[in-house]
């Protein structure tokens, strides 16, 4: 079952850039974690970011999400800097280690995140998300009672419960069962079809086949950017 995603506009025939970075660099002291990297991600695109551990995938996503500041270069989200209010509203970021409040139930997480972004929880949309990830019976439970797989599913549901245009996801397939994996793939397709954009860092070679583009990072630089046959 495909859950409905709150993207704002349907996909148009002409693609437009949602994310653009130019000569992006991130240094930690004397160590370079990323860059220089230049990349454009258009509306209606789903791209996989692949590479070995330490290649810069998580750093790249964190920069786009506005979680860390670049050392050099620029990033724009629909023309806005990642840290500003408009860009934050446009981006939903799901890190590889889900951050959940241990004293809030899943249902309370969904309501809190919706209201934080200026929306009210949509009962039908929320119910579909919970059903799609087999979480309906666990909505009143605390995250401390969840297995790793359930935490991953809960984090995904929380991340897509509010409006956004760009979805950033770091290693989402680890910990998911087959049903959860299939549901996530359907969700990514829904985001793309409704004019959003998706950038997913993953080691899962099977999952790579569902993306329009495969972007390969090595030692913090893009060494390949291929459009995949659909």
CA angle 199, 91, 152 (to 5 degrees): 65
C-beta of residue 94 within 8 angstroms of C-beta of residue 169: yes
Q: Are strands 31-42 and 221-227 parallel, antiparallel or unpaired?
A: unpaired
**Of 21, 101, 103, 106, the residue nearest 64 (C-alpha):** 21
Looking at residue 174, its pLDDT comes to: 77
Looking at residue 16, its pLDDT comes to: 63
pLDDT-derived band at 217 (thresholds 50, 70, 90) equals very high
Looking at residue 66, its pLDDT comes to: 92
User: What digits encode the pLDDT tens for the residues 7-37?
Assistant: 443 433 445 689 999 999 999 999 999 999 9
pTM assigned to the model: 0.85
User: What digits encode the pLDDT tens for the residues 118-176?
Assistant: 665 556 677 888 888 889 999 999 988 888 888 889 999 888 888 899 999 998 887 78
Q: % helix / strand / coil in the chain, to the nearest 5?
A: 30, 25, 40
Q: Which domains does the chain have, with CATH numbers?
A: 17-227 (3.40.50.300)
pLDDT-derived band at 229 (thresholds 50, 70, 90) equals low
User: What digits encode the pLDDT tens for the residues 190-205?
Assistant: 898 889 999 999 887 7
Mean pLDDT of all residues belonging to the chain: 85
Give yes or no for a cis peptide into 36 (omega within 30° of 0). Answer: yes
């Amino acid at each position: 079952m495909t859950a409905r995603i709150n993207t704002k506009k349907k996909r148009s025939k002409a693609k437009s850039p949602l994310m653009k970075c130019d000569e992006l660099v991130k240094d930690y002291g004397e160590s370079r974690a990323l860059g220089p990297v230049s990349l454009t991600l258009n509306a209606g695109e789903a791209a996989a970011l692949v590479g070995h551990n330490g290649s810069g995938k998580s750093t790249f996503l964190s920069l786009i999400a506005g979680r860390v500041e670049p050392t050099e270069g620029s990033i724009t989200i629909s023309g806005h800097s990642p840290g500003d209010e408009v860009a934050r509203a446009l981006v939903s970021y799901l890190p590889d280690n889900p951050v959940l409040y241990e004293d809030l139930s899943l249902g309370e997480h969904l309501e809190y995140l919706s209201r934080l972004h200026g929306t009210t929880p949509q009962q039908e949309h929320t119910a579909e998300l919970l059903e799609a990830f087999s979480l309906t019976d666990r909505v009143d439970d605390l995250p401390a009672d969840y297995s790793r797989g359930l935490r991953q599913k809960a984090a995904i549901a929380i991340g897509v419960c509010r409006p956004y245009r760009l979805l950033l996801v770091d290693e989402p397939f680890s910990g998911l069962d087959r049903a959860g994996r299939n549901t996530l793939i359907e969700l990514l397709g829904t985001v793309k079809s409704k004019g959003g954009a998706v950038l997913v860092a993953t080691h899962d070679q099977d999952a790579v086949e569902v993306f329009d583009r495969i972007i390969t990072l090595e030692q913090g630089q893009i060494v390949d950017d291929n459009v995949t046959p659909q």
